[in-house]
């Protein structure tokens, strides 16, 4: 009896916290998505008008597709940068583990500072354009560097590559080294050992890192706002504008709920993949 009461007392605060700040707001979001706006007032009558607008308006579909493309590209770039670095630190820097800290340090810097840094670097009078003109590779500032999807890709990759690196590094560190020694004793070459031993065992970390990079990039709104311009707007910027200047909370809630369902579907798929890899 005492043990059950103790477990209930310990579990109650976090459950109450999750209910108050996660489940209840989601319930309000769900209700708002079925309401409508008349003038400057929210009409509390259940309707599907918001979802019909999402289905019939090509703008939301195109922005969502662009957001997914940007998030997928950021995920791919994060994997291409994070996996080799994690592999090098884990297997070739046993005496220099402080390199791991160099990847973590950018997480200590404010997100806003990092985004503004890339805005300074990619601007018309920024560091990159000034360098290109100084070495005579360009005669005028390159306008496509800033306020474009390219700028969003660069900024998001820099911000979220660490989130992809961490689970990959953790999975590589947990690979038993005696398996590698056994593979060498059996005559496996370096590439063969990588593809048959190291990479399969690191797949849970790869999937987790890719999930972090994709989901966080898909829901980002600050980097597209600062460096994206009209061609780099993502779906979260639409949500912010609907809840802000447009004062159309029901439509914004409908878009948010659709985005939430997409994220939940991605998390479910990745969880199933990790479960299958773990037990096979």
Read off the pTM: 0.90
Cα 61 to its chain centre, rounded Å, is: 20
3-class SS at 41? strand
| Distance of alpha carbon 165 from alpha carbon 168, whole angstroms | 5
For the chain, what are the domain ranges? Answer: 59-278
> In the predicted model, what is the mean pLDDT of residues 148-176?
93
Residue 264 parent element (H or E): helix 249-278
Confidence of residue 189 (pLDDT cuts 50, 70, 90): confident
**pLDDT band at 103; cut points 50, 70, 90:** confident
pLDDT of residue 187: 84
Condensed to tens digits (0 to 9), the pLDDT of residues 115-156 reads 989 988 998 888 888 888 888 888 888 888 889 999 999 999
Task: Please report how the helices 199-218 and 58-92 are oriented relative to each other, as an axis angle in degrees rounded to 10.
Answer: 140
Measured between its terminal Cα atoms, the distance across the chain in Å is 40
* DSSP, res 37: E
Cα atoms found within 13 Å of the Cα of residue 107, Cβ hemisphere only: 12
CB atoms within 10 A of CB 73: 17
Summary mean pLDDT of the chain = 89
Kindly give, in sequence order, each residue whose CB lies less than 8 Å from that of residue 22, ignoring residues fewer than 6 positions away.
none
Query: What is the share, in percent, of the chain residues with pLDDT greater than 90?
Result: 52
Are 77 and 213 a contacting pair, CB within 8 Å? no
Residue 93 has pLDDT above 90, yes or no: no
**Interval 103-110 mean pLDDT:** 83
Give one DSSP letter per residue of 200-257, joined into a string.
Answer: HHHHHHHHHHHHHHHHHHHT--HHIIIII-GGG--HHHHHHHHHTTT--HHHHHHHHH
**What are the φ and ψ backbone dihedral angles of 82, each rounded to 5 degrees?**
-75, -40
The yes-or-no verdict on residue 95 having pLDDT over 70 is no
Average pLDDT for residues 226-246, to the nearest whole number? 91
Q: Which of 90-104, 144-158, 266-280 has the highest mean pLDDT?
A: 144-158
Provide the pLDDT for residue 2: 63
> Within the chain, how many helices (H) and strands (E) appear?
14, 2
What tokens appear for 181 in the block? Answer: 């020694």
Rounded Cα–Cα distance for residues 235 and 83 (Å): 28
pLDDT of 1 over the 60 cut: no
pLDDT tens digits for 39-89? 888 888 999 999 999 999 899 999 999 999 999 999 999 999 999 999 998
CATH architecture assignment, domain 59-278? Orthogonal Bundle (1.10)
Q: Which residue has the tokens 């306008």?
A: 143
- The tokens of 105 are what? 């340090």
């Amino acid at each position: 009896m005492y043990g059950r009461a103790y477990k209930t007392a310990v579990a109650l605060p976090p459950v109450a916290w999750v209910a108050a700040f996660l489940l209840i707001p989601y319930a309000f979001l769900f209700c708002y998505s079925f309401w409508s706006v008349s003038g400057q007032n929210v009409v509390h009558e259940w309707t599907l008008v918001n979802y019909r607008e999402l289905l019939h308006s090509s703008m939301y579909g195109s922005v969502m597709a662009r957001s997914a493309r940007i998030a997928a590209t950021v995920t791919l770039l994060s994997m291409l940068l994070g996996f080799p670095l994690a592999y090098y630190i884990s297997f070739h820097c046993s005496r220099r583990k402080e390199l791991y800290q160099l990847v973590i340090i950018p997480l200590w810097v404010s997100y806003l500072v990092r985004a503004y840094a890339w805005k300074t670097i990619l601007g018309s009078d920024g560091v990159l354009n000034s360098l290109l003109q100084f070495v005579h590779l360009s005669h005028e500032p390159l306008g496509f560097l800033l306020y474009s999807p390219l700028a969003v890709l660069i900024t998001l990759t820099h911000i979220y590559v660490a989130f992809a690196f961490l689970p990959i590094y953790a999975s590589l560190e947990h690979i038993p080294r005696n398996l590698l020694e056994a593979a060498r004793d059996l005559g496996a070459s370096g590439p063969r050992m990588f593809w048959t031993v190291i990479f399969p065992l690191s797949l849970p970390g790869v999937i987790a890192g890719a999930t972090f990079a994709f989901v966080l990039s898909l829901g980002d709104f600050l980097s597209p706002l600062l460096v994206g311009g009209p061609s780099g707007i993502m779906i979260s910027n639409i949500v912010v504008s609907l809840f802000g200047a447009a004062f159309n909370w029901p439509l914004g809630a409908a878009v948010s709920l659709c985005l939430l369902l997409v994220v939940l579907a991605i998390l479910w798929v990745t969880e199933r993949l990790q479960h299958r890899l773990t037990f096979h």
